[in-house]
Amino acid sequence: MANASNDTGSRLTITFEVDGFPMALDFAVSAADMPSRVDQAIQAIQKAGGTPPRAAQVAAAAVAVPVAPTSAPGTPPRCQFHGPMKESTKAPGTWFCPAKMGDGETYCKEKFPAK
């Protein structure tokens, strides 16, 4: 069994809005727990009425954090924001996120492998 104190983990910040007010949830999480903790946080935020920030705000506030998509063998890579990606029919071997952003108009730009 791995000792949790040996896993330095990462800081994770999820930005969202409640009734138009910007919010941020910041917490420490180990790499092994990150996928489930993100899913739990998103569910709690949605239950409280939170929505994704507008795409322009996300682009302005984005901080690139190199995170390898965590997927079990044989499953699609996961978008860090929206979940499972879809395989591209135009570029075999690549994946994209089919979800729309919080503005309801633009599509997520997450791809695997990242360029």
| Nearest C-alpha neighbor of 26 from the set 8, 39, 13 | 13
Task: State pLDDT tens for residues 11-50.
Answer: 777 887 877 777 887 778 787 888 888 888 888 888 888 8
pTM (predicted TM-score): 0.39
**65 pLDDT more than 50:** no
Rounded mean pLDDT, 73-89: 86
Instruction: State which amino acid sits at residue 40.
Output: Q
The Cα–Cα gap between 14 and 25 comes to: 5
**6 pLDDT more than 60:** no
- Whose structure tokens read 């063998």? 73
SS3 79: strand
Residue with the bigger pLDDT between 8 and 106: it is 106
